[in-house]
Structure 1
Amino acid sequence: MRAVVYSENGPSSVLHLVELPDPEPGPGEVVVRVVRAGVNPTDWKFRAGVSPKQHDVVSPGQDGAGVVESVGEGVVHVAPGDRVWLRMAQHGRAVGTAAELTLQPADHVVPLPDEASFDLGASLGVPALTAHRALTLDGESLGAGSMSGRSVLVQGGAGAVGNAAIQLATWAGATVLTTVSSDAKGDLARAAGARHVVDYTRDDVAARVREVAPDGVDLVVEVAPATNLALDLDVVRNAGTIAYYANNGGDEATLPLRPSFSKNVRLQGILLYTAPADRLRVGADEVSAAVAAGALRVGEEAGVPLHHYPLSETAAAHDAVEGGAVGKVLVDIAGA
């Protein structure tokens, strides 16, 4: 099989196309023929050396979608020929989704609803599961109408996780507000379903949020806590939650103690790679339910422009994500 790999950390130029042996599934494993691979910031960050390399040769890619090629003993939820999407495909493994075939633990392979394209399937994974974690405290479920009567502020609504959070929260019945940095990104956030869009480069965000939620929002989904924590504390309601999943804007944040404990605020950090396995399984099931309901979408009309690259240009796909491409960057492995 063809795969894009790297054997040393560094810039995208360390990626190269090679032939690898076709994998065979063992007990509890599934081989998937990848049609589309999604590229996330973690892919280029791992390649660049943000985290130590765990394998001599790595084929990157946490997200993807394709068709089951073969299954090992004990796998019953998918069968050869089934359409599937993949979650955390390269986590703990040498070969992710930048390959024609990928060998995965069975619970990383999720049936893809018939209505969903491979483009959508490859766009789920990290963004949708992170958004799901941000919208649910442990023990909570997310479904149609489950957040009715609640309000959510999504900071950075034009990003991949922000877009997924808008779509999922809207499906769940929440009133969704979001911040953006331009009119064009505002249009994308509205296409995703945001009811109220605030341009943080020119608007008083706190005042705009208070117009919609005078007592504060129930939940803030935060991408840049180092920059926004004081604002988040200002606009979150008593006993509300600030869920943060990235360190955009800085690696350290100052927490004003009295404003946080006097409002009984909960701070929830999110990282999929260390999240409880049971919550990830619930998240995958509920994300699939949202897909089946038509609540998660991709394309310009959904606020997620798609950018396609062939497998041989995976390095350019990494560069596009590192350069801040708006929307979803996909690698075409096989024809849909």
Structure 2
Amino acid sequence: MRAIGQDSLGGPDVLRIVEVPRPVPGPAEVLVRVCAAGVNPTDWWHRATGGLAGDVPIRLGWDVSGVVEAIGPGVTLFAPGDEVFGMPRQPAPAGTYAEYVVSPARHLAAKPPTLSHVEAAALPLAALTAWQALVDTAGLRPGQRVLIHAAAGGVGHLAVQIAKERGAHVIGTARTANHAFVRGLGADEVIDYTRTDFTAAARNVDVVIDTIGGDYGPRSLQTLRPGGIVVSLASPAEAHLADRARALGLRSTFMITEADRAGMREIASLAASHRLRVRVDTVLPLDQAATAHEIGERGRTAGKIVLTVCG
């Protein structure tokens, strides 16, 4: 089968089409014929650094939407021909930039028939990240105030919708050009972070979702009310930030998204009922994975980038 591989760490140019054996599903696994694969910031971080995947060669990609081709022993959830989507094995390597991928059956969910494979492939990692940050980690409750950084981005635009669905008052940061888009998702307030200091504009916040890193975590502490929490998705919270938060009666934590069938089913339900809409910014064929990474690393994408694989 064809797949995207890399034999060295580096820029997008290290990505290339390779021919590799088609995988065989083992016990409790399914073989999925990939129709589309989502592209995420973690992909180019792994491409450049090795990340959690370790040394080269590396096979990138976690988001997948496709059709079950075969099942391994003991699988009862799916049968060949079923349309599925999910985020296999995260945070371990999955290799969804390929014509076929093997996944634990319980890392997948039935694809809503209302979604195309491109739309479905754009959802898993970003939507699960937003869900696990807001619901599982922060314990978001109705009426709370949420500040979402990069609210027009892949995770951000889904987090806005999930927070509104949970009854929160949502404040997003985004460039002015994306304000109409973010408000259309349900955000109550939008701050242009290039013109306004968000620490002055957003006050008495209960939950901050930091998708950016750098000084955004420390600065976001200034926006919280007592007992509030910063959930960092970009980099591990440094010990001094957690200590500083505790000294102020606040919380700060770093979260890694995990494969999660229960969360996938929640995402599928929201998407099927049109309460969660994914914006796909760019669609490219598998052999243009390097171009997809170049576009993503510019940091100007509103929504998600997706690679198409099957016809």
Superposed pair shares fold, TM > 0.5: yes
Alignment of structure 1 residues 296-307 onto 2, 5 Å: 296-298=276-278, 304-307=279-282
**Percent of aligned positions that are identical:** 37
Alpha-carbon distance, 1:87 to partner: 0.4
Q: 1:115 to 1:305 in 2, by over 3 A?
A: closer
Q: What code does the residue aligned with 1:208 have?
A: A
Q: 1:133 to 1:190 in 2, by over 3 A?
A: same
Alpha-carbon distance, 1:71 to partner: 0.9
- Name the SS for the 1:7 alignment partner: coil
Higher mean C-alpha deviation, range 12-21 or range 78-87: 12-21
Could you report, residue by residue, the CA deviation over 1:30-72 in whole angstroms, capped at 9, with x for unpaired residues?
Answer: 0111111111111122122242654764331111211111111
- 1:320 equivalenced with 2:308 (yes/no): no
Task: Select the residue among 255, 275, 278 that pairs with 2:241.
Answer: 255
Task: Select the residue among 280, 283, 289 that pairs with 1:308.
Answer: 283
Task: Select the residue among 147, 157, 163 that pairs with 1:163.
Answer: 157
For the Cα contact (< 8 Å) 1:90–1:96, is it kept in 2?
Answer: no
For the Cα contact (< 8 Å) 1:66–1:83, is it kept in 2?
Answer: yes
Q: 1:203 to 1:12 in 2, by over 3 A?
A: closer
For the Cα contact (< 8 Å) 2:4–2:98, is it kept in 1?
Answer: yes
- Say what the alpha-carbon RMSD is for the aligned residues: 2.6
Distance 1:170 1:40 in 2: 23
Q: 1:117 to 1:36 in 2, by over 3 A?
A: same
Task: Select the residue among 178, 190, 194 that pairs with 1:185.
Answer: 178
In the alignment, what sits opposite 1:13? 13
In the alignment, what sits opposite 1:290? 270
What number of residue pairs does the alignment pair up?
A: 310
- Name the SS for the 1:158 alignment partner: coil
Alpha-carbon distance, 1:147 to partner: 3.3
- Name the SS for the 1:255 alignment partner: helix
For the Cα contact (< 8 Å) 1:30–1:109, is it kept in 2?
Answer: no
For the Cα contact (< 8 Å) 2:9–2:56, is it kept in 1?
Answer: no
Alpha-carbon distance, 1:8 to partner: 2.4
Distance 1:330 1:91 in 2: 19
- 1:242 equivalenced with 2:227 (yes/no): no
Alpha-carbon distance, 1:118 to partner: 1.4
Distance 1:240 1:133 in 2: 17
For the Cα contact (< 8 Å) 2:241–2:252, is it kept in 1?
Answer: no
Distance 2:201 2:92 in 1: 43
Distance 2:191 2:131 in 1: 23
For the Cα contact (< 8 Å) 1:61–1:96, is it kept in 2?
Answer: yes
- Name the SS for the 2:284 alignment partner: strand
In the alignment, what sits opposite 1:46? 46
Alpha-carbon distance, 1:91 to partner: 4.6
Alignment of structure 1 residues 1-336 onto 2, 5 Å: 1-51=1-51, 53-54=53-54, 57-88=57-88, 91-93=91-93, 96-137=95-136, 147-180=141-174, 182-210=175-203, 216-247=204-235, 255=241, 260-261=245-246, 263-272=248-257, 275=258, 280-298=260-278, 304-326=279-301, 327-335=303-311
Q: What code does the residue aligned with 2:86 have?
A: L
- Name the SS for the 1:286 alignment partner: helix
Distance 1:204 1:52 in 2: 34
For the Cα contact (< 8 Å) 2:209–2:231, is it kept in 1?
Answer: yes
Q: 1:20 to 1:90 in 2, by over 3 A?
A: farther
Distance 1:237 1:55 in 2: 43
